[in-house]
A and B are shown apart, each in its own frame.
Chain A
Amino acid sequence: MLVIIKNAIRERIRRREMYIVVGIGILMLLLCGSDSSSISIDGKAVTGYENMFMVLHTLVNALSCLLAVVLSLRTIPNEYERRNSHLVWVRGISQPVYHGSLAIANVVSTFMAAWILYGVLAVYMLINGHGAEVIKLFPGSLGLAINISVVSIFTSVLSIGIPVMATGVIAALFAGIGVFHSLLDVMANVLGGVGGRCLSVLLTIVPDMHGIQKQSQLYVTGGTLDVHVLFVGLLAIYIISIGLFVLKRKEA
């Protein structure tokens, strides 16, 4: 199992999608974190450390979720296309273990890439004289890990049963709903009617990834944490993971 995970991570690292998203992410973080950025609150330029940290942390979370979709999208289908799966079957490894290992590899490689973005955040903190808080980023990244795991495992599970294109669309929608959960929650209430109800149903299914990210941010900046949101995220990972053991590919 460990060998499968190790090989899968190596392959993820070799793929250019990872570097493109991380590169764009670093560029965006640098632009937003620079003094000349055009981010504003109520028309006033955001220059305060806490506000900027909030913006950058939100951005890292959104980019990491996007990265989770991109990196997890093709992992399982590619293995079957290349017939690598047969090499695994002959060693007597079951499909659930194989899919589980690949999903873990997806999560780990995305988390590694997300840490590069977190590194930019750490540099921003150091430059702004908040070096003492940098250490808090390590336990604080638990929230990021939960979000990445939710999106990555969800994408991996989908990719077992449906075509890549459909997986990409559904997974991106899933990640989008999670990242913009609080905003969409307000929209669902404002909309009302059938549209509002449909949105409410989707919001009940998809965990509040914005809320989870906010707990990480609060941990670093010092605030009261809502443990419930984290538990919901962990429970979502648990429930989605069942798909890895239940769903099987016909080609095997």
Chain B
Amino acid sequence: MKMFRVIYFLIGVILVTGTFATGEYGLSKVNRSIYEKACEAERNLAKIQFPDFHVSDYKVRFYNGHHDYVVQGDSVKKEQPVLDTFAGSTLKVNGEWQVIVPEYELFAELFNIAGAAGSMMEGAMAFSENTYTEHSHAATICHEAFHAWQYSNWEQEIEALTKNIETVGEKNRETAIVNYIDSNDTCVVLFEKEMELLQEAYQCQDDAGRRDLIMEALAVHAQRQRGLSTGLTALETFLENLEGSAMYVEAMVYRSLEGEEAFLDYYMGDFLYSNGSAKYYTMGMLKCMLLDTLLPGWKESWSLEETLDVLLDRACR
């Protein structure tokens, strides 16, 4: 019995040592590698030429449900979470804009569960292991870092837009879109028409034909916005320009990391109108991509004083 106790104790020592020796503490290697990939992709990407935009300029906070691991360059610090929520976002912390994302493992799992839940609602059992990749997470970091860049550079313009948006009288922007825009049949039809024309313009090989299609799309856009209040127009401008351009950065990073096929599949699939703000992200991204073909170097001097529509209009005249 004494021998058994000694052996049992030794096994315990081996197991405790093994558990501690093989464990990963602090920010995981996967998240470190994702951060490095995001910085490297943005550095190597010729398409992203917004002046002085560098992901590495902003601290990235990886939230693990309990703490934030704040990463900048080689430094990683453990801090109290500033946003105790499971979302990708940009926030001003101690006077500087920072990126907040959940740790990849948690975010990917959330996406998988959401995907599974979505399919289950349609009556089928589902597992989704490969939906949200490490490259998707690197692209998300670039998306949020671009917001940090926008807020750092366009503070006054964003403030003016926000004041206009407040006149809608609805605290939740999603609710405002659903209640005042998505419920308006004319607005929906005109939005779909505009999107169709822009997609056609993107596919068009003929330069003159492309310009005509864009001008037509801009006319539809103007017609749609005439039916909306100043607040709602400001809300659309905000989403299309700020979120659309951030999605453009995200898509370009994703394209460079995951390849053309995955990019086309994920970002350039068939457009389906949906209630809420997501459609403005897609439209803004498409407008940025059209500007790449029509107005090279547009990013060097772009600011919110000139919206993407104004730039497109100038490029087509």
State the A residues within 8 Å of B (CB).
Answer: 38-43, 46, 51, 54-55, 58, 182-183, 185-186, 188-190, 192, 200, 227-228, 231-232, 234-235, 238
Q: Which residues of A contact B19 (CB under 8 A)?
A: 228, 231-232, 235
A228–B131 touching, CB < 8 Å? no
Nearest CB in chain B: distance from A144 CB, A: 19
- The docked-state distance in angstroms from the alpha carbon of A189 to that of B124 is 26
> 7 tightest CB-CB pairs across the interface, nearest first?
A189-B65, A228-B22, A231-B19, A231-B18, A235-B15, A40-B124, A186-B109
Q: What number of residue pairs across chains A and B have CB atoms under 8 A from each other?
A: 74
From A54, A185, A190, contact of B129 by CB (8 A): A54
Does B168 have its Cβ within 8 Å of any Cβ on chain A? no
Nearest CB in chain A: distance from B105 CB, A: 8
- The docked-state distance in angstroms from the alpha carbon of A227 to that of B19 is 9
From B15, B113, B115, contact of A231 by CB (8 A): B15
From A41, A51, A234, contact of B119 by CB (8 A): A41
From B23, B65, B113, B118, contact of A42 by CB (8 A): B118
State the B residues within 8 Å of A (CB).
Answer: 11-12, 15-16, 18-19, 22-24, 65, 84, 86, 102, 106, 109-110, 113, 115, 118-119, 122, 124-129, 131
Q: Which residues of B contact A186 (CB under 8 A)?
A: 106, 109-110, 113
Q: Which residues of B contact A192 (CB under 8 A)?
A: 84
Q: Which residues of A contact B18 (CB under 8 A)?
A: 227, 231, 234-235
Q: Can you offer 26 A-B residue contacts whose CB atoms are under 8 A?
A: A38-B125, A39-B124, A39-B126, A40-B124, A41-B129, A42-B115, A42-B118, A43-B118, A43-B124, A46-B127, A51-B127, A55-B127, A183-B109, A185-B65, A186-B110, A188-B65, A189-B106, A190-B110, A227-B18, A228-B19, A228-B23, A231-B19, A234-B15, A234-B18, A235-B19, A238-B11
- The docked-state distance in angstroms from the alpha carbon of A38 to that of B126 is 9
Of all chain A residues, the one with the shortest Cβ separation from B11 is A238
Nearest CB in chain B: distance from A187 CB, A: 8
Q: Which residues of A contact B119 (CB under 8 A)?
A: 40-43
B109–A38 touching, CB < 8 Å? no
Q: Which residues of A contact B124 (CB under 8 A)?
A: 38-40, 43
- The docked-state distance in angstroms from the alpha carbon of A40 to that of B128 is 8
A189–B86 touching, CB < 8 Å? yes
